[in-house]
A and B are shown apart, each in its own frame.
Chain A
Amino acid sequence: MKKTLTPKERMAIERVKMPEQDPRHRIGNFEEVNQGLTEEQAIREAQRCLLCKNRPCVAGCPVRVRIPEFLAALAEGNLPEAARILLADNTLPAVCGRVCPQETQCEQVCVRAAKGAPVAVGYLERFVADWALTHPDKVHKEDRPEPTGKKVAIVGSGPAGLTMAGELARKGHAVTLFEALHETGGVLRYGIPEFRLPKHIVDTEVARLQDLGVEIECNVVVGKTVTLAELREEFDAVFVGNGAGLPVMLNIDGENLKGVYSANEYLTRVNLMAAWRNDHPTPIIRGKRVAVIGGGNTAMDAVRTSKRLGADRSIIVYRRTEAEMPARIEEIHHAKEEGIEFILLAAPLEILGNETGWVKGLRCQRMELGEPDASGRCRPVAIEGETFELEVDVVVNAIGTRANPLLTATAPDLKLNKWGNIETDEHGATNLAGVFAGGDIVRGGATVILAMGDGKSAATAIDAFLKQKG
């Protein structure tokens, strides 16, 4: 093994390129686009880290992974140690290594970004996490902590809930995860497609939590099957991480035509219900010309899915420009490689139907950018009189989601904001004693890693609450 590299030697190494499935092939399958680094590539990339004193990457990570430490172990080829550090800090590293927007977090603040390319932290996180999944015998076995006798209910098994479950189980609390659907994972299961996050990864990460003693009960719709009040009676604390599972509708004519989907429905059919597999009974309309409205990651997932389901034309319709798109740069880049068309500065006006009630087109309004709005992005303004029609047979609405009121409707004491999101303090505490919340039910539509960050910080708060409770 090579002895410690000098900074100059480290600076001389070029950033690794992620091996990818060829775009021409991958639009015909649902296999992962990013193929993962080889061990050699990973070690070399890890050696690019300068192990700088300020460690801005750690502060840039919502779950505060000790990035320089795990990279240092990896750079030395000490994979068990790299895995030990990573797994201790991040409950779902194989997920984060795939879906986190590192370019706006750890990698954005990497000192190497100032002069060239940042260390590929995301790729390396994925590499170490995948190595750990395939080498369970070589990974440090976590001791089960002494049980504290305290019981915590977690509502929702998405990224916030799973992170919370891992954190609390490691502190010895008895954790029960309640999931409304028939599989765990929340948006990781129903939302993010197989080609970006294979479902066996979610399965393995969840199984690791079960090894830690986390109990999982699916098919429990909190707010319906049991109420928050009932959970509060049965458990010492409750964490609500049930997501923002309510699609925002377009409210335009033609929205109820056959062939119009919310992104939630479209992706749930394909991902959770496996409509992409021919041996599954779940039906889906496989359009030949598909328009997806929106510019976020969900829109990219939906439009790239439509291509894989056999569309000749898959089109993003977005009312601003590419610069304002909330989607990750990598997703936009991959979409373009796959032949996705981008129609920018266009907003849907009406979905057109044929005489049998099926979608036949989308009428759009041309837009231009105006003054910045509250989000800091330029507001799209209609250019009067400039409209056009697209000939499509499927329309997917991916403009966003809101808080689902199922739980909160049966918890009248729980304080909400005007959009129906749960109000919390900076540690995730709600106005009800022992009730904490995080992820999209608090933030509105955000990201996997922010939800995980909420889960992690609220876990510290819940642990403190339980200790104080005595």
Chain B
Amino acid sequence: MFEVLQNDTLAPNVHRMVIRAPRIAKARQPGQFVIVHPEADGERIPLTIGDADPQAGTITLFIQAVGASTLKIVSTPVGGSLRDVAGPLGKPTEIENWGRVACVGGGLGTAVLYPLAKALAKAGNEVTTIIGGRAKPYIILAEELAACSTELLIATEDGSMGRQGFVTHVLQELIDDPDRRPHAVFAIGPVPMMRAVAEVTRPPGIKTIVSLNPIMIDGTGMCGGCRVKVGEETKFACVDGPEFDGHLVDFGLLMDRLTMYRDSEAKLMADLPEELRDKIIKVKR
């Protein structure tokens, strides 16, 4: 059992949870994830490790409740525990000194971006971080990211925080400015956002790394359910990724495969108690 030591709400239905997992805390590197199996009869959910403290033996997870299982996880109170947490899984981010990099985060992807931005800054990069969301309440970790970035830019769809628009608009301006143009871009967020970022960086040929979160079970390469097409090759996101060259990823296929269980998910949602269901639907639109 993995004890929950902290559970904060960062944005509507977005939680930051600190969990006791000494072995994982010791082994973990930025870019890696865990599989959380909250209870005996639950699903196995892949979640990126946001941070880790090897001394304290803890890891930090950022979780957005988008369905029955993630709701179960975020509803675990401090002092409660998650039945299974396995990891760290996936390949760590290849951290190198690119000189100037842009880190682009959307929605919960911002949380996944955070350890990466920190590691890139530590490696000597000049980090420009661009984060976006629907509106101000959905902008998370702005302070933390500002602390490790040379510059933090925010875009919201309704203009309630930062500039109005999408992260891609901000990124385009950055690229167009020879003094601020990044040598590499790290984009993590909803699939359409990552695809849009890859399209912005493709013409100028800027190396772009994206982090994929397809449907997964074991996270060890055993089932192949998480396969994604990268260039001409089929890759398993759990062991070959989760980070890939954004210019080679077949985003259309990824989005399509993510819909494979839409019917079952809708049924699970329908079976939830009404007040919980409302909670999720309000956030998801």
Contacts and interface: CB of A to CB of B under 8 A. Distances in A.
Q: Is chain B a partner of chain A in the same complex?
A: yes
Interface of A: 180-182, 190, 218-221, 224-226, 245-247, 249, 255-256, 258-259, 261-262, 264-265, 268-269, 273-274, 279-283, 285, 357, 404-406
B221 A225 contact: no
B43 interface: yes
Contact of B217 (A255, A256, A269): A269
B41 A265 contact: no
Nearest to B229: A256
A180 B44 CA distance: 13
Interface of B: 23-24, 27, 37, 41-44, 68-69, 83-89, 217-225, 227, 229, 234, 239, 253, 256-257, 259-261, 264-265, 268
Contact of A268 (B223, B227, B234, B264): B223
A225 B86 contact: yes
Nearest to A179: B86
A221 B89 contact: yes
A221 B87 contact: yes
Given A225-B88, A281-B41, A283-B265, A245 B221 contact: yes
Nearest to B41: A280
Given A247-B224, A406-B220, A224 B44 contact: no
A261 B261 CA distance: 13
Nearest to B72: A281
A309 B59 CA distance: 39
B69 A281 contact: yes
A207 B259 CA distance: 40
A262 B221 contact: no
Contacts of B260: 258-259, 285
A273 B42 CA distance: 8
A256 B85 CA distance: 28
Interface centre among A219, A249, A264, A280 (most CB of B within 10 A): A219
Contacts of A357: 256-257
Given A181-B86, A221-B220, A256-B234, 14 more contacts: A219-B86, A220-B86, A224-B88, A247-B223, A247-B224, A256-B257, A258-B257, A261-B225, A265-B225, A281-B43, A281-B268, A283-B261, A357-B256, A406-B220
Contacts of A245: 218, 220-222
Given A249-B234, A274-B41, A406 B223 contact: no
Given A249-B234, A283-B261, A283-B264, A225 B222 contact: no
A220 B43 contact: no
A258 B83 contact: no
B27 A224 contact: yes
A313 B234 CA distance: 29
Contact of A256 (B41, B83, B227): B227
A404 B41 contact: no
26 contacts: A180-B220, A182-B37, A219-B85, A224-B89, A225-B27, A245-B218, A245-B221, A247-B223, A256-B229, A261-B225, A262-B224, A262-B225, A264-B224, A265-B217, A265-B223, A268-B218, A273-B43, A274-B41, A281-B41, A281-B68, A282-B43, A283-B265, A285-B260, A404-B222, A406-B221, A406-B239
Contacts of B86: 180-182, 218-221, 225
